[in-house]
Amino acid sequence: MQPKRGLKPYARTLAVALSLAFVAGCSSSGGTQDGSMDGTRGGGAGGGVAGSGVSGSQVGGTGIGTGGAGQQADGRIPQQRTIYFEFDSDRIRSEFESVLASHARYLRENGGARVVLQGHTDERGTREYNMALGERRARSVERFLSVQGVSPSQMEVVSYGEERPAARGQNEEAHAQNRRVVFAY
């Protein structure tokens, strides 16, 4: 059917335009480069993101220069490599769209680069449910990057569910740090 065929490119163009408009509007809104949600670095057991089960070389890096929302002007991998999700949700939060846009830009400009999108959840729910939720979160990020022009061959999705917590504990602060997708280059 002809209308469906014409709608898909329109929807993709609209999604890209909205994403770019959002990034442009929010590029000076600040935020933290280490992925913390509350403006404080670290937090929780294990020092925050570095305790996420991802090696230290994948997180903090080597004193990478500054740039808004984890953006790198010199072609290096964006510094912020973790985004967070609401409870029981795979919807990308608006404050992390600029982070995703910087990763998309890096991947587009470096066609040989590959990233593993690691989906994580907090401990609530069954193991099976959390594995599926972690995958949905990582797929949500994959879709966002695809709309931004990143090649599917550059991305791999893995779900760890609740198996690799960034923070130990049964409180909301620990749960919030565990609901995440980590970019592993």
Run of H or E including 82: strand 82-84
Residue 64 belongs to domain spanning: 2-184
The CATH code of the domain that includes 23 is 3.30.1330.60
What are the pLDDT tens digits along the chain (185 aa)? 444 455 555 555 555 555 544 444 443 333 333 444 443 333 333 333 333 333 333 333 323 333 344 445 567 999 999 999 999 999 999 999 999 999 999 999 999 999 999 999 999 999 999 999 999 999 999 999 999 999 999 999 999 999 999 999 999 999 999 999 999 99
Cα–Cα dist 127/10, whole Å: 39
**Number of compact structural domains in the chain:** 1
pTM value? Answer: 0.64
